[in-house]
A and B are shown apart, each in its own frame.
Chain A
Amino acid sequence: MGVLVQAHDLAVSRGGRRAVEGVGFTLSAGEALILRGPNGIGKTTLLRTVAGLQPPAGGRIEADPDAIAYAAHADGLKGALSVAENLRFWRDVFGGPPVEPALEAMNLTQLAGRPAAMLSAGQKRRLGLARLLVTGRPVWVLDEPTVSLDAGSVALFADAVRAHLAAQGAALIATHIDLGLPEARVLDLGAHRATATAPSRAPASFDEAFG
């Protein structure tokens, strides 16, 4: 099993302040890792850092940026385009597999022709998750993927993740609720909260450079 993501002594800062530090984990093919922790500890920031959207405040990440598919609170959908058009656009950008199986997996085939603006919040979410399937990328980095999903859709999502893991994929998921993925490892970020008195290090933010 190949290692897909490795984090060493990772620290991230949010809003100019260090949020978590000393985070280390390894994510191999076929594995899922769930991040837990209270609100505001920096789960989203950590995921954005892993996805390469922002630089770490300390430590390092070993991952191929072209292996990661990131999904956040906003689904990146255009209301004026139809469900299929939205999905096809992301397929073309990422150059992944065709869209029909993805629509099928997220139970969206019936809605394919409908403008995304007319979808309910849960349906939009499902479309956002279907996007992961058409990226063709092995590592899914998911930020609260089950927001506004009903129980049936959560199960659908768990099935999709499981199928992805079975195909030698991996998933890094920040969530509060039980996803029905008992095989996933759990990393509690509460233990890595940044302390006020830390040894000297590179400044986490502009202002801290003058502290």
Chain B
Amino acid sequence: MLALLIRDLRLATRAGGGFGLGLAFFLIVCTLVPFGVGPEGGTLALIAPGILWVGALLACLLSLDRIFALDWEDGSLDLLATAPVPMEGAVLVKAAAHWITTGLPLVVAAPVFGILLHLPSGAQGWLVAALLLGTPALSMLGAFGAALTVGLRRGGLLMSLLVLPLYVPTLIFGAEAVRRGAAGGDGTTPLVLLAGITLATLAAIPFAAAGALRVNLR
């Protein structure tokens, strides 16, 4: 399992692996939004939590098709299925690799983007905490969507349609925590709920995703 994680990380950081692409996408979103809504700091600060979370969602979505599709094409997935690694474990590891290459950089860089969007400094901590707790669920649910559509030639759009509705609870609680923080309040309640969703997702979704992969492999 560790070997799989190391391989996926190595693949992501090698040439053509797409590491940092999500971060660049995030930057573009945060650059474009002020052009769309105007440069006033007050307006930007008001919508910053939502923009940052939606941006994180889309940046995550961007790289989901890499989770299983490449391994499916070159036959690695067949070989992994016959390996002495449980499929559920492989799903969990691949989602973890996706999170480390996509979610974690977002978490680390989020305060910078928060400054770009005039997020009040009191909310920065909440933003990082919410992203840290929420993005693992995004990767895990994304892995489920990728597992459902792995056998399809043009599964990308369909996967967005399947995955984005699943992101709704995470988005609501994540953005709410930041919003409460920005208003000078306490975001603990949504943060706790967010953590609950993430934990439940990490516990249950690997089984669903592994089941979907087994169906797609036969």
Q: Which residues of A are interface residues toward B (Cβ below 8 A)?
A: 48, 51-55, 65-66, 68-78, 80-81, 85, 89-90, 92-95, 131
Contact = CB atoms under 8 A, between A and B. Distances in A.
A64 B73 CA distance: 27
Given A70-B79, A78-B74, 17 more contacts: A51-B82, A53-B81, A65-B82, A66-B84, A68-B82, A73-B75, A74-B75, A80-B10, A80-B11, A80-B17, A81-B14, A85-B7, A85-B10, A92-B3, A93-B3, A93-B85, A94-B83
A55 B218 contact: yes
A66 B83 CA distance: 7
B74 A76 contact: yes
B217 interface: yes
B82 A81 contact: no
B132 to A, nearest CB: 29
A204 to B, nearest CB: 13
B217 to A, nearest CB: 5
A46 to B, nearest CB: 13
Interface string B70-106: 0101111011111111000000000000000000000
Closest 4 CB pairs of A and B: A74-B75, A92-B3, A54-B218, A76-B76
B94 to A, nearest CB: 13
Interface of B: 2-4, 6-7, 10-11, 14-17, 71, 73-76, 78-85, 217-218
Nearest to B17: A80
Contacts of A66: 84
Contacts, number: 70
A134 to B, nearest CB: 12
A74 B4 CA distance: 19
B11 A54 contact: no
Given A55-B218, A66-B84, A68-B82, A77 B11 contact: no
Given A80-B11, A85-B10, A92-B3, A69 B82 contact: yes
12 contacts: A52-B81, A54-B217, A70-B78, A75-B74, A76-B76, A76-B79, A78-B7, A80-B14, A89-B7, A90-B79, A93-B83, A93-B84
